[in-house]
Structures are given as C-alpha cells and as structure tokens.
C-alpha cells in the first residue's frame, strides 16, 4: 500500500535561531522520504532565515521548496497550502518555526485518526511551551532533545477528543479540507481559531490526540517571542469583529459551557472587563483629584493604578525595553477596552451557528470509537 503524500508547511519570519532544530526534528519523523516534503514560506525576514532553510533542508536530503513572500501569518499559511497542493499533498502538516517535534510517529497517528473519524478531520496533539532566558539555554535544550528523539521510541496516543479549535503549531490538515477552507487573511492573530470554526461549519471536524507526553515543544525566548509586543495598533484592530467572534467561540464551545451567558463567566473575558474597569476608574480618579474631591480621587486612583501596573509588568517581561513595553501596553489596553463590548455582541450575533457546532462536536464524540479500539499501525 502506497503511503499518502505529506507536505510539512512552515511560515517563518526572522526564525534563523530555532528553524535549524525544527527542520532536523522533521527529518526524524517516521515516514517514507519519497512521500514527504517541506514547504517554507518566509514572510519577509531581515535575518538569514531563507538561506538557513535551504542549507539545512539540502543537508538533510529532504524534498523542499522555499518561497520568500512578505506576508502576515494567515497569508503565509495560505501560500503554504497552495505550494503543498501543487506538490501533490494528500495531507498538509503545519509546523510552527519554533516547534520542535519529538514524537516520531505523530504523523502516522494523525493520519490514522483523520481517516477514522465521522468525517475528514484536522488533527493536532499536545505541545508543551518551553521558555528560555537566553539563546544558549535554548540551543542546549534543543540539541539534547533531538539526540533523545533519534534514540528513543515514541509513545502512542491514549485517546482522543473532538475539540472546537486548535493552534497550528503541529497540526495535520487533509487536502480535502485545505481546498475548501482557507485562512482569513484579515486576521493578524486568532486565524487558527477562525479556521477551525470554518472547518466545523463546512462539515468537517477537529481532533486532538491525547498523549501522556508532549508530541512537540514550543521554543521561546522570554523577550523575543511575543508577537503582540511588536504588533502595530492597525494590526491589532484589523479583522476586529472576527477576533471578537473567535474569543466568543472558544468560550461558548468549552465542555460544560454553553450560551451567551458563559462569556461572562470566562476568566479571559473577565480579565478584559477588569482592565476596562481599571481604565475607567483611573479616568474618574483623575477627574476627582484635579476637579472635585481629593480623598475620593485617591480612593479610586490607588486600586486602578495598582491593577494597571500589574498588567504593565506582565508586558514588560516580554518586551526588549521599557518604551516598547509602554507602547504595547497602550495598544493592548485600547484593544481590550473595545473588545469588552464586542465579544458579547458577536456571541449574540452568531449564537445559533456556535450552538450547532457544539452539537456536532458532541455527535462526533459519540460516533467515533475509542482510539484504543483502532490503534495506529
């Protein structure tokens, strides 16, 4: 039996540090070389990412294509899909440029799960985030991990779950789905959530394979791995309503949740509410401090300022300097303030569709047999 053709797709930008390790981990995947290829789309790096990709892939002996195309994440993903389909892919394996694959058999497991569901499915696995204080620590971890991967057997999944959405850090998409569902290029983040919403809405599904150990590691440096710090205000608000819908969708489809009311019980939404309340309280306190009652102004100013300082400290940790942190804090605070009102609006507007998808998830979970009953070959 001929194995399906798989193309691993990576969208990159200034990824020369982690990309060599990621590509080496792909070369360790237990899959026929003549049925496996790599497509890399560089979104406009100012470092040597494209050259690094070509050099490493040549040295590994993998079939590949590297395309340099200035783009955001969803634009890059769509370009990757186009390249993969032109290469004849039956399946597309999205891998982030900082995702170190450590389960050599995940690809086979994912193909088996996708083919065995109640419909063709997007399949993902457990990715563990690893954050490092410096470059040397990251390199040491990656090198030691790759040595262990090459010499150790891979674990099998202990079960599966149908889920409403997943990230694209290590995710398999059948070509059938890729031809019908595309990434929304208006979205500068949350594109993966909206993609999964569209996947369910198109009659397909999303599966997460559950392992006792992570199938991959997400490699991060503390002050260089947060896209929100670098994002412009324009990009924050690009596709704003769709981003609000993504927040509502992920909350309303959580197990045990349901309906618009669940939005107001969600921790992430409450964090936006808290930020908005603190900003409003701070504004009022300044009015009272300078125009009316000094005591009342101080009573409002102290808790509001303390809460906003806490939020700022979290941004500062991920920023290269104080000025960048301040800019990022102002941008996200404004975004969060307006998002507080837009999330419930989108939840009400799309509640019927979200409810229908929730029912589909439950139906598929009941119809698809346990992974133990059909272990992968």
Answer yes or no: are the C-beta atoms of 8 and 19 closer than 8 Å: no
Answer yes or no: are the C-beta atoms of 63 and 37 closer than 8 Å: yes
pLDDT of 290 reads 86
Q: Could you tell me how many helices (H) and strands (E) the chain has, helices first?
A: 14, 11
pLDDT of 105 reads 97
Q: Which residues contact 20 (CB under 8 A, 6 or more apart)?
A: 52, 56
Cα separation, 259 vs 269, in Å, equals: 15
Structure tokens at 149: 């991967």
- Structural domains of the chain, with CATH: 6-225 (3.90.550.10), 245-357 (no CATH)
Question: Which residue in this structure is represented by tokens 């982030």?
Answer: 96
> With left for phi above 0 and alpha for psi between -120 and 50, is residue 117 left, alpha or beta?
beta
Share of the chain above pLDDT 70, in %: 95
Structure tokens at 241: 């309503």
Q: What are phi and psi of 311, to 5 degrees?
A: -60, -40
Q: What are phi and psi of 362, to 5 degrees?
A: -65, -45
Q: What are phi and psi of 38, to 5 degrees?
A: -130, 130
Cα separation, 11 vs 376, in Å, equals: 29
Cα separation, 352 vs 335, in Å, equals: 26
| DSSP per-residue letters across 57-91 | HHHHT-EEEEEE----HHHHHHHHHHHHHHTT-SE
Answer yes or no: are the C-beta atoms of 205 and 164 closer than 8 Å: no
pLDDT of 367 reads 76
Q: What is the pLDDT along the chain (377 residues), one digit of tens a residue?
A: 789 999 999 999 999 999 999 999 999 999 999 999 999 999 999 999 999 999 999 999 999 999 999 999 999 999 999 999 999 999 999 999 999 999 999 999 999 999 876 689 999 999 999 999 999 999 999 999 999 998 888 899 999 999 999 999 999 999 999 999 999 999 999 999 999 999 999 999 999 999 999 999 999 987 655 677 778 899 999 999 999 999 999 999 886 666 788 898 888 899 999 999 999 999 999 988 888 788 888 999 999 999 999 999 988 887 888 998 899 999 999 999 999 999 999 999 999 999 999 999 988 888 776 553 444 44
Cα separation, 74 vs 92, in Å, equals: 15
pLDDT of 226 reads 62
pLDDT of 374 reads 46
CA nearest neighbour of 226 among 155, 140, 325: 325
């Amino acid at each position: 039996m001929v194995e399906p053709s798989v193309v691993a797709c990576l969208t990159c930008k200034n990824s020369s540090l982690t990309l060599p390790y990621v590509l080496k981990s792909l070369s360790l995947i237990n899959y026929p070389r003549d049925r496996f290829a790599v497509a890399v789309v560089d979104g406009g790096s100012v470092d040597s990412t494209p050259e690094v990709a070509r050099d490493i892939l040549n040295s590994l002996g993998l079939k590949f294509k590297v395309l340099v195309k200035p783009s955001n994440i969803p634009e890059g993903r769509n370009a990757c899909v186009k390249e993969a389909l032109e290469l004849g892919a039956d399946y597309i394996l999205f891998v982030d440029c900082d995702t170190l694959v450590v389960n050599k058999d995940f690809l086979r497991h994912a193909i088996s799960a996708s083919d065995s569901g109640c419909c063709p499915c997007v399949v993902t696995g457990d990715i563990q985030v690893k954050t490092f204080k410096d470059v040397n620590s990251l390199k040491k971890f990656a090198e030691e991990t790759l040595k262990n991967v090459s010499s150790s057997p891979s674990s099998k999944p202990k079960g599966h779950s149908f889920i409403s959405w997943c990230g694209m850090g290590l995710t398999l998409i059948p070509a059938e789905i890729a031809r019908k569902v595309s990434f929304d290029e208006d979205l500068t983040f949350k594109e993966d959530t909206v993609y999964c919403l569209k996947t369910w809405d198109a009659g397909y599904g999303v599966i997460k394979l559950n392992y006792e150990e992570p199938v991959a590691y997400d490699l991060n440096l503390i002050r260089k791995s947060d896209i929100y710090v670098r994002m412009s205000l324009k990009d924050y608000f690009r596709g704003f309503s769709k981003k609000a819908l993504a927040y509502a969708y992920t909350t309303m489809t959580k197990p045990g949740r349901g309906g618009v009311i669940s939005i107001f019980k969600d921790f992430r939404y409450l964090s936006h509410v808290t930020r908005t309340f603190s900003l409003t309280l701070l504004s009022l306190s300044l009015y009272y401090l300078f125009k009316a009652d000094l005591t009342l102004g101080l009573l409002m100013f102290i808790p509001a300022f303390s809460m906003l300082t806490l939020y700022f400290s979290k941004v500062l940790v991920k920023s290269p300097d104080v000025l960048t942190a301040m800019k990022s804090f102002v941008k996200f605070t404004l975004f969060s303030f307006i998002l507080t009102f837009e999330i419930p609006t989108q939840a009400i507007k799309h509640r019927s569709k979200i409810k229908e998808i929730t029912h589909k998830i439950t139906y598929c979970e009941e119809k698809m047999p346990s992974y133990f009953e059909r272990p992968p070959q």
